Amino acid sequence: MNLFVDAQKLLNLREFNSHLAGPPSKRQISITCKSNFWQNISLIGQLDTRTLKGSGQIQLTEFRPQGLVADLFPDSPIRITEAPAGLAIDFKTDGPGQMQAELNGTSPHLKFSFAKEMLNIGNPRFKAAIQVDKNAVKLSLAELTLNHPQLTLSANLDLTQRTPPLSLQVEGRDIDVTATRQMVLALAGNNEDVKDIFDVVKGGRVPLITLTAQGNSLSDLGDMDNMVIQGQMQDGEIHIPDIQFDLKEATGEVVISRGLLEGQNLQARLGNSIGQNGKIKLGLIGGGGCALSPGNRCPGGPVPASPDPQAPGR
């Protein structure tokens, strides 16, 4: 069985087998097939065809999404070159418009190409869930784990009848900033807000970071004005563009909100000088910034946090 879009063959299903049995209240369903996008897919389940209540499982092996993504998004600058993923979906329906599903996926690697750059994401694993009812849709990412770049994420996306209807919460742990920076800039480098953030934050480790956002649409959730990012940094590298200062070994608490980066309880090294108990305020969007030490102001523009008077080089 083939699916065409205009004259182009998009999907080819082969060795397609299906079986239906049982009364309408306990209809047994079994489907298996191969395709050009996966090695094998199977669906086994039970459905009450009168109430649309049922449950089942979908197993997919050797998923190959690169061709599908290229066909659906021919103008995208990002290309998936290799993604041999396995996926298991356990689902349950409680009637029309009500559904729950749990997803588990693994892959030895995901390979992307962007312009002339190649990215290899090592050993991604994820657990996720979808819940749909008459009043809300909830997508939850219980865990996304990568070996390279080192990264652990969880997230919740809710669509409700509240105002605003969309809300997003993301939590990241044990993040290698240098490797993650390279991946994010390659995948979203055309986004000026993303570039502004990583023009300042060059490297380090983040034990914990959270992001919250609200909006009326998915594009609103990507607007920096609607985001609040809070994190802890260790061994950080922070670049202050206006005055060409590079702070090394930065440790402390950082908040990004409405295009402004603020840090508190900071310790950092500038050359041979060390600053402690410092604060920093830096405009990420639209230029301008200010780095502060306790009790100091920035009337004439950005200045560095005062180093420890006991530090060498003072």
- Model confidence pLDDT, tens digit, residues 201-252: 888 889 999 999 998 888 888 777 888 989 888 888 888 777 777 888 889 9
- Residue 312's pLDDT is 40
More confident of the two residues 305 and 145 = 145
Residue 69 in this model has a pLDDT that exceeds 70: yes
What pLDDT does residue 288 have? Answer: 41
Res 303 pLDDT > 60: no
Cα separation, 102 vs 137, in Å, equals 14
The set of residues, in sequence order, having a beta carbon less than 8 Å from that of 209 and lying 6+ positions away, is: 171, 172, 173, 175, 229, 230, 231, 232
Instruction: Give the pLDDT band of residue 188 (cuts 50, 70, 90).
Output: low
∠ CA 208-108-60, rounded to 5°: 105
The answer to whether 124 touches 108, Cβ cutoff 8 Å, is: no
- What are the DSSP calls for 7-52, one per residue? TEEEEEEEEEEEEEES-GGGEEEEEEEEESS-SEEEEEEEEETTTT
- The pLDDT of 136-144, averaged and rounded, is 91
Confidence at 314, pLDDT banded by 50, 70, 90: very low
Chain segment 253-291, per-residue pLDDT in tens: 988 888 788 888 888 888 888 888 888 787 765 544 444
pTM equals 0.71
Q: What is the pLDDT of residue 299?
A: 34
End-to-end CA distance of the chain: 76
Which of the two residues, 281 and 47, has the higher pLDDT score? 47
Contact 61, 42 (CB under 8 A): no
Give the C-alpha separation, 20 to 312, whole Å: 79
pLDDT band at 66 (very low <50, low <70, confident <90, very high): confident
The DSSP output letter for 222 is: T
Pick from 70, 205, 71, 87: nearest CA to 149: 205
What DSSP element (H or E) covers 188? helix 177-188
User: In which band, very low, low, confident or very high, does the pLDDT at 164 lie, cut at 50, 70 and 90?
Assistant: confident
Give the count of beta carbons closer than 10 Å to the beta carbon of residue 123.
13
Q: How far apart are the C-alpha atoms of 20 and 46, rounded to whole Å? A: 10
Q: Can you tell me the mean pLDDT for 164-172?
A: 91
Q: How many CB atoms lie within 10 A of CB 93?
A: 20
Output the pLDDT for position 291: 44
Query: What is the Cα 156 distance to its own chain's centre?
Result: 11
Percent of the residues in the chain that have a pLDDT greater than 70, as a whole number: 88
The token duo for 225 is 């004005």
In this predicted structure, what is the pLDDT of residue 210? 93
pLDDT of residue 294: 42
In this prediction, residue 100 has a pLDDT band, given cuts at 50, 70 and 90, of very high
